[in-house]
A = this chain, B = another copy of it.
Amino acid sequence: MQKTQKINDTIMFGNPPSITFSACVGGKKESKSPIANCFDKLYSDNYFGKSSWEKAETYLVNECIDILLKKSNSNMDDIDFIFSGDLENQCTASAFAVRNKPVQYVGLYGACSTMAESLCLASCFTDANQSKKTVCVTSSHFCTAEKQFRTPLDYGGQRTPTAQWTVTASGAVMLEPTVSPPYVRSVTFGRICDYGITDINNMGAAMAPAAASTLLSFFKSTNTTPDDYDCIYTGDLGEIGTKLLSNIMSMNGIKLKNHKDCGLIIYDVKTQDVGVGGSGCGCSASVLSGHIIPMIRSGKLKKVLFMATGALMSPTTVFQKDSIPAIAHLVELSHCL
């Protein structure tokens, strides 16, 4: 087996970590998802019995971690690290879920790219034998996100045609040293791209250039093309970002094939009134955990790219009329070593 090495922006692992377990939990709209059967648990009440949206999201993360631990027959103190982050200010959904748990915590902020960011970091730690059992978890909640990034739901604000719908869900995976598929073959951390988009309701346009940047970099590092992969999953570009990514890749001489966006997998955009698709850390996290990983494990998919995208603005930077930077982190997954 080759030694771990960094070629351009891609770290290729000598000891590819395994994703041994995964779990995901969703809310009300997710219960009607075309992939609803992929969730471990679904709730019809987005408060999850709690007194605030924020407490509800924390509950969601806790539930997801609990299910993951049960599946893996582990206790919390068997886990070396939790890598986590979310969209709430100061990432409180994650931190409050993990407080007083007997586990080391690494707090991240990558907006909707957080699931891929945490997987990239955890994979590096696992490959280097710095961690034996690592949990990556993230979440989003439609109501906390609307309140924080747009307007509180109670205001009844109208949504624009380019808006995406924040998924109410949490997804988690466990990483361990090489044992069984899916294997993480390589990771590519992204660069922050800002193409001057200022429309807070058009995240797809803001994120597509970052997605293209990371994908082009990965193909260059690995000397591969879209043909080499059964599927290239992005999260969450929605309908507009998906078209833009395809256009940008074409302009760079690459025909984007086998591409699917988590934001268009999790909802039926025709019937579920979700604008141009799903978004939020919990979107790509739950699609990865419940839908993609089982297909790689079973061998239905052999080689897959998972690339989550994040828009790194805040309401303050938007008020100040600044443009929206974005980032995309990529994880290469495979059924075989």
Contacts and interface: CB of A to CB of B under 8 A. Distances in A.
A90 B92 contact: no
A28 interface: no
Given A54-B316, A130-B6, A109 B85 contact: yes
Interface stretch (A38-46, A119-127, A277-285): A119-127
A189 B106 contact: yes
A100 B130 contact: no
A191 B108 CA distance: 14
Given A6-B80, A11-B130, A101-B192, 14 more contacts: A54-B316, A55-B322, A85-B109, A89-B315, A90-B312, A90-B317, A91-B312, A92-B314, A92-B316, A101-B191, A104-B191, A105-B189, A106-B121, A124-B125
A93 to B, nearest CB: 10
Interface centre among A132, A316, A322 (most CB of B within 10 A): A316
A235 to B, nearest CB: 16
Given A99-B193, A327-B107, A317 B121 contact: no
A70 to B, nearest CB: 21
A273 to B, nearest CB: 27
Interface string A79-107: 01100010011111001101111111111
Interface of A: 4-6, 9, 11, 51-52, 54-55, 80-81, 85, 88-92, 95-96, 98-111, 117, 121, 124-125, 127-132, 189-194, 312-317, 320, 322, 325, 327
A324 to B, nearest CB: 9
A131 B189 CA distance: 12
A322 B57 CA distance: 14
